[in-house]
Amino acid sequence: MTKSKTIYYCQNCGTQSATWLGKCNNCGQWNTFVEEIVQSTSQKNKHDSNNFQSVPQLISEISDIPISRIDSGINELNRVLGSGIVAGSLVLLGGDPGIGKSTLMLQSALAMPDAKILYVSGEESSIQIKLRASRLKQKNNLCYIVNETNTQAIFSHINAIKPQLIIIDSIQTLQTSSLDSSAGTVSQIRETAAELQRFAKQTNTPVFLIGHITKDGMLAGPKVLEHIVDVVLQFEGDRNYGYRLVRATKNRFGSIDEIGIFEMTQTGLREVDNPSEILISQRDEDTTGVAIAATIEGLRPLLIEVQALVTAAIYGNPQRSSTGFDLRRLGMLLAVLEKKCGHKFGIKDVFFNIAGGIRTEDPAVDLAIIAALLSSSLDIAISTKDCFAGEISLSGEIRPVSRIEQRISEVQKLGYKRIFIASNNPKLPENNHIKVIRISKIEHLLAKLFIN
């Protein structure tokens, strides 16, 4: 008879405890411990002992096989994965509900015409998936759909079909018969992911896991999942805008610098090859509070439009609001501007936005933000042919940013005539198409920007 044992798991970080705790010692969250029934250790060991087949090998004797990669059918996805899906890899795709995770995976499955694929859905019926597939207007006659949540049943389907790629939508709905706890709990997620990982490694079949994100933006359930998988992809973007970014936060087979950019359309996700052109709106010459920043997202240059609105504060406490940019960093930039240029932002409301629902953490955006704030505050428009790339230090100095040549060639391609950069950026080759304006301190920006 199977002896059962209960353990309390923190549903946030996966910490276990023999007794219930009000506050998790590890992540500090309250009320996250849930009792889960796990199989007794002796039973588990007995079961596992039959599977001990590993033999230690000398590193010099292990054959040097190059990583084989499969084309996912979507260039932007290949790019983030590091030029394709690695055989035998376990990839986790996380993102907010409704962002398009199921769409991306189904679209990739349909875009691989010769590959046999098993799409396991625990969330939607086969009819719903078929409806989505008809919207996508792509065809793969070897794509199987199954509604199943039990891993043992899934493995039996896999043995029958022998797919070349498996997609699990989502890991939170899976359940293994070896545990009694309900689907979505830490022990179930950990165990089912581990079963899939063993399967992927043994058969060299890649497995994609779709994972949910909690309201705090963490991958739901556990950090443990991130340790098990080979690649963690984050699907981001604002649901109200069409643009979506896929970013790797962990990749055992490639760099985590690349991003994939998509646009959600009526017929699924469209790959965006020239993101800069789309993120920038056409504006009139006299629009104030708008500036263009030459940023680098991943390895690609990306021009983004920053928008600021500075108005007199009616209530005692001036308002600060920021979309797509860290509010504290905006506060810091306002403080530097106030101290160095004497603008009284303390009595102004400041609203800040990055167009297109994009988020950026590239420090090179600082200079464009300062320019947009000055433009809105003084009500003077910045020329539509100007753009910016520079980081601001606490002392008000403009600091150089990385890969300036790449940024300049991108802005030049899009027809900009002037770029403002830090004066101590390295010397650049002669360029007659774009005027590079070097500034050392933010006090000097105003004169160079508005007085030609």
How many other CB atoms sit within 10 Å of the CB of residue 168?
29
Return d(Cα 184, Cα 189) in angstroms, integer. 6
When CB distances to Mg ion are compared, the closest residue is: 102
Nearer to ligand TYD, 213 or 401 (CB): 213
3-state SS string for 68-84: CEECCCCHHHHHHHCCC
274 binds, among ligand TYD, Mg ion, none (CB under 5 to 8 A by kind): none
Question: Given the rule CB under 5 A, which of 22-30, 94-102, 342-350, 429-437 is the region that contacts Mg ion?
Answer: 94-102
State the Cα–Cα distance between residues 364 and 304, nearest whole angstrom.
11
Identify the residue whose tokens are 């991108």.
410
Indicate which of ligand TYD, Mg ion, none lies near residue 88 (CB less than 5 to 8 Å, by partner kind): none
Q: What is 99-150 written as a DSSP string?
A: SSHHHHHHHHHHT-TT--EEEEESSS-HHHHHHHHHHHT---TTEEEEE--B
Structure tokens at 249: 């936060």
User: How far apart are the C-alpha atoms of 374 and 371, rounded to whole Å?
Assistant: 5
Residue 222 partner contact from Mg ion, ligand TYD, none using kind-dependent CB cut-offs of 5 to 8 Å:
none
Q: To the nearest whole angstrom, how small is the minimum distance from the Cβ of residue 213 to ligand TYD?
A: 9
Query: Which one of 99-107, 192-200, 321-329, 337-345 is the stretch in contact with Mg ion (CB under 5 A)?
Result: 99-107
Min dist. Cβ of residue 162 to ligand TYD (A): 26
Nearest to Mg ion of 102, 151 (CB atom): 102
211 contact choice in Mg ion, ligand TYD, none (CB below 5 to 8 Å, kind-dependent) = none
Rule CB under 5 A: say whether 102 interacts with Mg ion: yes
Residue 298 binding: pick among Mg ion, ligand TYD, none (C-beta 5-8 Å cut-off by kind): none
Query: Mind giving me the DSSP string for 255-275?
Result: -S--EEEEEEETTEEEE-S-H
CB of 95 vs ligand TYD, minimal distance in Å: 5
The nearer residue to ligand TYD, 167 or 186, going by C-beta atoms, is 167
The residue (of 130 and 433) whose beta carbon lies closer to ligand TYD is: 130
What does DSSP assign to residue 381?
Answer: P
Task: Give the nearer residue to Mg ion in terms of CB position, either 10 or 167.
Answer: 167
Contact partner, 31, from Mg ion, ligand TYD, none, Cβ < 5-8 Å per class: none
> Which residues of this chain interact with ligand TYD, rule CB under 6 A?
95, 97-103, 132, 135, 264, 266-268
Least CB distance to ligand TYD at residue 124 (A) = 8
Output the smallest distance, CB 205 to ligand TYD, in A: 22
Listed residue (291, 312, 292, 443) closest to 377, CA to CA: 312
Closest CA to 243 of 265, 264, 217: 264
Q: CB 123 → ligand TYD: shortest distance, Å?
A: 8
Say which amino acid occupies 355: A
At a CB cut-off of 8 Å and minimum separation 6, what does 139 contact?
110, 113
Query: In the complex, what is the shortest distance from the CB of residue 97 to ligand TYD, in angstroms, rounded to a whole number?
Result: 5
Is residue 206 within 8 A of residue 230, CB to CB? The reply is: no
Q: In what order do the strands lie in the sheet with 16-17?
A: 16-17, 4-10, 33-39
Q: What phi and psi values does residue 105 have, to the nearest 5 degrees?
A: -70, -40
324 binds, among Mg ion, ligand TYD, none (CB under 5 to 8 A by kind): none
Q: Which is nearer to ligand TYD, 80 or 293 (CB)?
A: 80
Question: Mask of contacts with Mg ion, 44-83, x by CB under 5 A?
Answer: ----------------------------------------
> What distances in angstroms separate CA 178 from CA 38, 131, 160, 203, 355, one per listed residue?
8, 34, 22, 22, 49
> Which of Mg ion, ligand TYD, none has residue 98 at its interface (CB below 5 to 8 Å by kind)?
ligand TYD
Least CB distance from residue 280 to ligand TYD, whole Å? 23
Nearer to ligand TYD, 249 or 424 (CB): 249
Minimum Å distance from CB 122 to ligand TYD?
12
Note the residues at the interface with Mg ion (CB under 5 A).
Answer: 102
